[in-house]
């Protein structure tokens, strides 16, 4: 199949091409003179048959990501009142600030990889390199065009630049993903299938020593030895303070709970969100300068826990 691509920049220079892309990797490099990138785009003809379904990987774990058909669309924030969006910061939970949501049938998008499935046969399109920006896949079912774009606007480049590092495979689900992971040189950490229990789906944040012990007792006829028992959200004094427990809920501390879980024959797991912090946390109160800002103001990243902020990993501390 034919893959066409182009790079737009400021100042402008001619950087475009056309490549033959068959199964396996596709690497496109360019020697880019001193400039600031505006967009990096490519496209390939990709017809989706009437009985095919396709999937585009969501931006993050809360992105609704079903299999689509040719008449599907992604609504985004369309139809949600603006005051509701602002109150609960719904627009902070995805890619709404840097990806267009046209709200049209037949136009869908996702990040890093996508597949087209006819029965048990898959066509997988995927990225081999996200170092230079997220790889956005946008599918126009009516034109049968798969657009592929790098989220790199504003990136300053001077010299060799990896325009695209992509991968294509056909086969069963197992075959296409195994070949992609092999191209990424990713080896499975384990072939073991892990089963277990998480306190979140019964109790949400309402956990303490007594409830965790009750849940362990309740799992005795369900879980097997070495299955996972996870204490989920609610053990910490505030989201962002991960170095000690809420002593009112867990007066004996986390080690005592882990020891009990191990004594019951399970592996102990614990939930945390290492980059998030709510406003009342000690971390946020003591280090407000450690967090991501927008126009000089700390950026509220969502409505969970009454609002939370994200650590800026470019701050050395």
Q: Which of the two residues, 97 and 308, has the higher pLDDT score?
A: 308
pLDDT value of residue 29: 92
Q: Using one digit for the tens of pLDDT, what is the confidence trace for 126-167?
A: 999 998 889 999 999 999 999 999 999 999 999 888 999 999
Tell me the average pLDDT across 185-197.
87
The pLDDT value given to residue 312: 97
Mean pLDDT of 94-105: 90
Task: Give the predicted TM-score (pTM) of the model.
Answer: 0.85
Residues 6+ apart with CB under 8 A from 109: 56, 74, 99, 136, 137, 138, 139
Q: Give the pLDDT score at 33.
A: 82
- Residue-wise pLDDT tens digits, 254-298: 999 999 999 999 999 999 999 999 999 999 999 999 999 999 999
Sheet of 196-198, strand order? 196-198, 228-231, 267-270
- What pLDDT score was predicted for residue 76? 87
Q: Across-strand partners of 178?
A: none
Report pLDDT for 27.
95
CA distances from 256 to 143, 187, 213, 260, 263 (A): 60, 35, 11, 6, 10
């Amino acid at each position: 199949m034919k893959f066409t691509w182009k790079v737009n920049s400021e100042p402008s220079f001619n950087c475009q091409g056309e490549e033959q892309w068959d199964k396996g990797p596709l690497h496109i490099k360019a020697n880019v003179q001193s400039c600031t990138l505006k967009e990096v785009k490519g496209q390939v003809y990709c017809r989706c048959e009437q009985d095919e379904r396709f999937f585009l990987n969501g931006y993050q774990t809360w992105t609704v990501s079903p299999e689509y058909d040719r008449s599907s669309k992604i609504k985004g924030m369309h139809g949600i009142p603006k005051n509701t969006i602002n109150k609960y910061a719904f627009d902070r939970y995805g890619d709404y600030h840097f990806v267009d949501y046209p709200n049209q049938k037949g136009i869908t998008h996702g990040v890093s990889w996508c597949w087209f499935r006819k029965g048990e046969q898959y066509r997988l399109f995927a990225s081999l390199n996200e170092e230079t920006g997220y790889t956005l896949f946008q599918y126009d079912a009516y034109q049968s065009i798969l657009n592929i774009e790098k989220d790199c606007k504003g990136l300053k480049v001077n010299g060799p630049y990896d325009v695209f590092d992509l991968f294509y495979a056909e086969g069963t689900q197992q075959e296409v993903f195994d070949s992609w992971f092999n191209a990424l040189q990713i080896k499975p950490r384990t072939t073991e299938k892990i089963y277990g229990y998480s306190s979140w789906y019964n109790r949400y944040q309402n956990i303490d020593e007594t409830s965790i012990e009750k849940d362990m007792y309740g799992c005795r006829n369900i879980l097997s030895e070495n299955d996972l028992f996870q204490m989920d959200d609610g053990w910490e004094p505030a989201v962002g303070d991960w170095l000690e427990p809420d002593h009112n809920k867990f007066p004996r501390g986390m080690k005592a709970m882990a020891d009990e879980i191990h004594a019951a024959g399970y592996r102990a797991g614990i939930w945390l969100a290492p980059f998030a912090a709510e406003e009342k946390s000690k971390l946020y109160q003591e280090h407000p300068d450690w967090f991501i800002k927008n126009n000089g103001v700390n950026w509220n990243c969502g409505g969970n826990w009454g609002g939370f902020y994200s650590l800026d990993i470019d701050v050395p501390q």
